[in-house]
Structure 1
Amino acid sequence: MSDIQTLVAAATTAVNQGRWEQAETFWAQVFALDPRHPQALYSLGVHAFKRGELGKSLQFLQAAHASAPGDPSVLLALSVVLREQGDSAGELRAIEASLAADPYFLPALLAKAAHLELHGQPKAATATYRNALKVAPPESHWPPALRDQLLHGRACVERLGNALAGFLADRTDAGLSALTPSEAERWREASAIMSGQAQPYPAVCSTLQVPRLPAIPFHERSAFPWVAALEACTDAITAELRAVMDEAQGDFQPYIAYQPGTPVNQWLELNHSKRWSSYFLWQNGQPVKEHLERCPETAKALAAVGMASIGGLCPNAMFSVLAPHTHIPPHHGETNARLVVHLPLIVPDKCRYRVGFEHRKWTIGETLIFDDSIEHEARNDSDELRVVLIFDVWNPLLSPGDRDMVQRLSAAMREFQSVA
């Protein structure tokens, strides 16, 4: 190992151990051997800055930049010295040069945002803080030296987003009043996305995704001719539900039931738990005959609907029971070829449902029809059980030919998977 390599290693060790004076001595020895050594020049510039020797620091850092013109850290250090010398324009030029060398250099992005904020450009500063937060690692891995700056940047982004959201609402509320409820919700979501209060919610399917279908969170009940007849059966269906809850409680099984060794991710708390349980009438395309026989009015109502039929996947139909103070975490469904229907049967207060941007309350006897390939979650924050009848119907945006292709594609996949 050369003398310079030995000295660099010794200086690095000294820095890591907090022996600053000894480190500077080693860097000075490197500089004596190689006056253009960029790391020695940079380090000597930093040491001089710490002592308040701004002119000497600037000289070393400029030399370091000449030796390593593409090093963003050198340019950022230069910007700090220029700031202390009162050269605001020079500081910004050095920061911009650092970002030109590496547009994703997080300390330079934060430095630029802070400079803009200090000099009366809060919106430009917030845009830069937003970029910094995008390139930053997850919060649990934020560098300790940058954590306070990142927290401040996030607060700035949230503050400006709230201000923009209020401004957009003020300018658009009159237009919303002329729209249908679903149209108005669409444009509230557009404003939320524009102001950074929300992100777009795409369809994400774990099994079969039909491309080019719009991701519509909730579909209008009026678009489905069977809704009125189904809702008229609410009392009869509820009576059958209460009977099986009294007589066949053991047939309600945990809805989440991963095999040992399977990654459970967000389902850890609900895996094999009856806090979310189901009494299946149809499961993965197959009727559960004993359960259907116990619930003839429910079976008749489902038959009149005409559920989606995708072999091995659906129809599914079940009484879904959510225990008090239970949260079903955000997740996506299996396919956007079908929609999911909720017929609420037992709904205490403090129960909420979200699909994408939209939050809804369950109302007994009033269906919710939604695309479960969009991120969705449910909450029961009450002290009582919440129960809904859930089943699948075809996405009405699919033509008969589309439905045929869904079935063919699903059948082909099952056939492929069945062969060893």
Structure 2
Amino acid sequence: MAIPLQTSPEQHLADAAAAMRRGDTAGALAAIGLAEQASPHDPNIKMQRALALRMSGAYPAAIEALDAALAVDPYNFLALLSKGALVEKLSGERLAARVYQNALKLAPPDDKLAPQLAAPVARAREVVERVQAELEAFLRANMGPVESAGSELARARLDEAIGIYAGRKRVYNHEPLLLHYPRLPAVPFYPRELFPWLPELEAATPMILEELQGVLAGRMSDFSPYIAFPPDVPANQFEELNHSPRWSSLFLWKDGERQDAVCESCPRTAALLERLPMAHQPQFAPTAMFSALDAHTRIPPHTGSTNTRLLTHLPLILPGPARFRVGNEIREWKMGEAWVFDDTIEHEAWNDADKLRVILIFDVWNPFLEPGERDLVAALMSARNRFYAG
């Protein structure tokens, strides 16, 4: 007597799909049950059960089926996205947002997303963003004014913490390319009161601009591309600006060396910089330069070499809107206003104007370093260079 062939799980699922097309939910669930008996640990079969239950309006049972699929495969993007939609129907956006957040972490890039998933993913993002905004507003309304936190640093710290706690902002840490000095605070823009010389620098803006204009009139050709990687170094995010005059610089000090010819062209600017507490690290710092960015040009996100020193920006030519981001904070340059920031925190810049933007950039010691530390940090970095030199 011939032994009947067993029906495969795939055939049972095909039968279930045919039943669903006929509107026969009971038949579909029966076929899916047979598929599960044959392959009890297949998450795709559990996903089919969830689909059939959802089509029948049995949402709680559909969520249970999705949870069973996630128990087998916790990184199942489709299961999480589907569960988020069901939770939204049953319990509202706030609970759904938690599920959607996990789904979005696993979502493929938009250009690799299946067309039929574009709308559900967009809905997930919409819900998450709305709930996070509502949460942030609720937190601010129920905790008291940020202004009562204290100093500028305390207010900025608390304000950013609220955004991070609500999920609307990300955490930015030091990401130095060369030396990470531990136990220094990761502060995007440092409080002005730590730099009592800032008013003197800002008051000198017209004088520095006058000398810069003389340089631009006679030595603009001396500006060179700021990004100039050798052929064997990947340009990565700087590919568009590599060896490009769209972001160019003219150095007054470079890697600790005074550029005498440029300083002689800008004698009062050079004298001012020599009075300021620039970071002196042989072969590394100070660096001081005029930085020129062409119209409608963006400097992509990047980080600097070490958190033992900070960068100062003073705008000199601002033909229109120009923005600068450090971590979660975006500021616009304003004439006569300088700032000091930690460039080992991810930062980027935009010149949104129709003409060239020029700022003065120079580095200063991190104010949280003690004088003895400064000397030893300089010795530490020089020793590393000597080690590799031979």
- TM-score (norm: length of structure 2): 0.91
Q: Do structure 1's residue 348 and structure 2's residue 319 form an aligned pair?
A: yes
Distance 1:292 1:237 in 2: 12
Contact 1:352-1:379 within 8 A present in 2 as well: yes
Q: 2:5: which partner in 1? A: 33
SS of 2:189's partner is coil
Alpha-carbon offset, residue 95 of structure 1: 1.4
Q: Which amino acid aligns with 1:222?
A: E
Q: 1:69: which partner in 2? A: 40
Distance 2:62 2:192 in 1: 60
Q: 1:370: which partner in 2? A: 341
Superposition CA RMSD, Å: 2.3
Distance 1:153 1:178 in 2: 35
SS of 1:411's partner is helix
Change (3 A) 1:201 1:348: same
Residue 176 of structure 2: which of 205, 211, 217 is its match?
205
Alpha-carbon offset, residue 341 of structure 1: 0.7
SS of 2:145's partner is helix
SS of 1:104's partner is coil
What percentage of residue pairs aligned between the two structures are identical? 43
- The aligned length equals 388
Q: Do structure 1's residue 339 and structure 2's residue 310 form an aligned pair?
A: yes
Q: Structure 1, residues 221-257: CA drift from partner, whole Å, max 9, x if none?
A: 2212333333343332222211111111111111122
More displaced stretch, 103-112 vs 138-147: 138-147
Q: 1:4: which partner in 2? A: none
Change (3 A) 1:68 1:405: farther
Alpha-carbon offset, residue 369 of structure 1: 0.5
Distance 2:14 2:379 in 1: 67
Q: Structure 1, residues 362-397: CA drift from partner, whole Å, max 9, x if none?
A: 233332111011111222222333222111111111
Gaps of 5+ in 2: none
Alpha-carbon offset, residue 303 of structure 1: 1.2
Q: 2:164: which partner in 1? A: 193
Question: Map of 1:265-344 to 2, 5 A cutoff?
Answer: 265-344=236-315
Gaps of 5+ in 1: 1-30
SS of 1:258's partner is coil
Distance 2:266 2:202 in 1: 16
More displaced stretch, 168-177 vs 356-365: 168-177
Residue 361 of structure 2: which of 390, 396, 399 is its match?
390
Q: Structure 1, residues 72-129: CA drift from partner, whole Å, max 9, x if none?
A: 1111111222233443332221111111111111111111111111113321111101
Contact 2:174-2:344 within 8 A present in 1 as well: yes
Larger Rg: 1
Question: Map of 1:14-25 to 2, 5 A cutoff?
Answer: none
Change (3 A) 1:199 1:144: same
Distance 1:69 1:176 in 2: 58
More displaced stretch, 397-406 vs 326-335: 397-406
Alpha-carbon offset, residue 172 of structure 1: 4.5
Q: Do structure 1's residue 133 and structure 2's residue 99 form an aligned pair?
A: no
Alpha-carbon offset, residue 173 of structure 1: 6.0
Q: Which amino acid aligns with 2:54?
A: R
Contact 1:176-1:187 within 8 A present in 2 as well: no
Distance 2:330 2:144 in 1: 19
Q: Which amino acid aligns with 1:308?
A: A
Alpha-carbon offset, residue 280 of structure 1: 0.4
SS of 2:45's partner is helix
Q: 2:371: which partner in 1? A: 400
Distance 1:321 1:329 in 2: 15
Residue 154 of structure 2: which of 171, 180, 183 is its match?
183
Contact 2:295-2:353 within 8 A present in 1 as well: yes
Q: Which amino acid aligns with 1:350?
A: P
Contact 1:327-1:378 within 8 A present in 2 as well: yes
Q: Which amino acid aligns with 1:228?
A: P
Alpha-carbon offset, residue 261 of structure 1: 5.3
Distance 1:405 1:68 in 2: 66
Q: Which amino acid aligns with 2:5?
A: L
Distance 1:284 1:50 in 2: 71
Q: 1:225: which partner in 2? A: 196
Distance 1:328 1:194 in 2: 29
Change (3 A) 1:200 1:34: same
SS of 2:301's partner is strand
Q: 2:84: which partner in 1? A: 113
Q: Do structure 1's residue 143 and structure 2's residue 118 form an aligned pair?
A: no
More displaced stretch, 81-90 vs 385-394: 81-90
Contact 2:146-2:159 within 8 A present in 1 as well: no
Q: Which amino acid aligns with 1:118?
A: K
Contact 2:224-2:250 within 8 A present in 1 as well: yes
Question: Map of 1:33-112 to 2, 5 A cutoff?
Answer: 33-35=5-7, 37-112=8-83
Q: Structure 1, residues 295-352: CA drift from partner, whole Å, max 9, x if none?
A: 2211211111131123332211001122222222222111111100112222333122
- TM-score (norm: length of structure 1): 0.85
Alpha-carbon offset, residue 265 of structure 1: 2.6
SS of 1:119's partner is helix
Distance 2:380 2:13 in 1: 62
Q: 1:158: which partner in 2? A: 129
Distance 2:128 2:186 in 1: 28
More displaced stretch, 252-261 vs 39-48: 39-48
Q: Which amino acid aligns with 2:124?
A: G
